[in-house]
Amino acid sequence: MKRQAELATVSEKQLKANRLNAKKGGIKTSKGKTISRYNAMKHGLLCKEVLIEGEEEKSLKELERKVRASLQPVGELELLLTDRIIANIWRLKRAMRVERSSMEWQKNYQDPFDDNPGGELGSTVEAIVNPQKHREKVTSMIANPSTERLLRYEAMIERGIYKALHELQRIQAARAGDKPFAPLAIDLDVSGDI
């Protein structure tokens, strides 16, 4: 019994120390808070603000109008889920633009040590003369760490869309008096391959 009391005292001391330490850390100045507010912008694809510099607000508003018309949300919770879907669709489109730009850069990039820097014609000739080297270049354009990272972002964003859409459909079905869908989504493989 005495041992439990000692542990409880230690836990209380640790809790107090943690609270004091928590007050010491973090950003204190308004300038620091202003700067840290934009930390997510550094990551681009995962930023908290949907619209970033260079993107057209008109396009986002049009997407918002179309999705809202399609999903017809009612109430605050449905609006929140619809907004999440819109934001994730926008992020997915952004990720796809970044992926396309990255692959275009990879395609057009001329290696200074390349012995055949002939542009498009050089690539065609190279494909005929040295198909293995050409295949390696195409593969490196598609299968590289940047592209793989982008594909993971895209998959994560898609899961966010499906999760919010599934929950929205559940809420709308319940509101309509229908039997709501199961609270989880299951991927089924109907290809017959086991």
34-76 per-position pLDDT tens digit = 655 544 433 444 444 677 778 888 888 899 999 999 999 999 9
Whether 86 maps to a domain, the answer reads: yes
Rounded to 5 degrees, φ, ψ at 67 are -70, -45
Lowest-confidence segment of 1-5, 29-33, 78-82, 126-130 by average pLDDT: 1-5
Report yes or no: 99 and 147 within 8 Å, Cβ to Cβ.
yes
Q: What is the extent of the structural domain holding 177? A: 57-109+145-183
Whether 47 maps to a domain, the answer reads: no
pLDDT beyond 70 at 30: yes
Whether 27 maps to a domain, the answer reads: no
Residue 87 tokens, joined: 């934001």
The rounded mean pLDDT for the chain is 75
Positions of E strands within the chain: none
| Confidence (pLDDT) at 177 | 92
- The residues near 142 (Cβ < 8 Å, ≥ 6 apart) are 103
Number of domains in the chain: 1
Of 102 and 41, the one with more pLDDT: 102
Lowest-confidence segment of 9-23, 55-69, 131-145 by average pLDDT: 131-145
Whether 174 maps to a domain, the answer reads: yes
pTM for the structure as a whole: 0.57
Whether 98 maps to a domain, the answer reads: yes
SS3 10: helix
- Give 166's pLDDT tier (boundaries 50, 70, 90): very high
Whether 122 maps to a domain, the answer reads: no
As a whole number of angstroms, the distance between CA 142 and CA 75 comes to: 43
Report yes or no: 160 and 84 within 8 Å, Cβ to Cβ.
yes
Where b means 16+ CB within 10 Å and e means fewer, 45-56 reads bebeebeeeeee
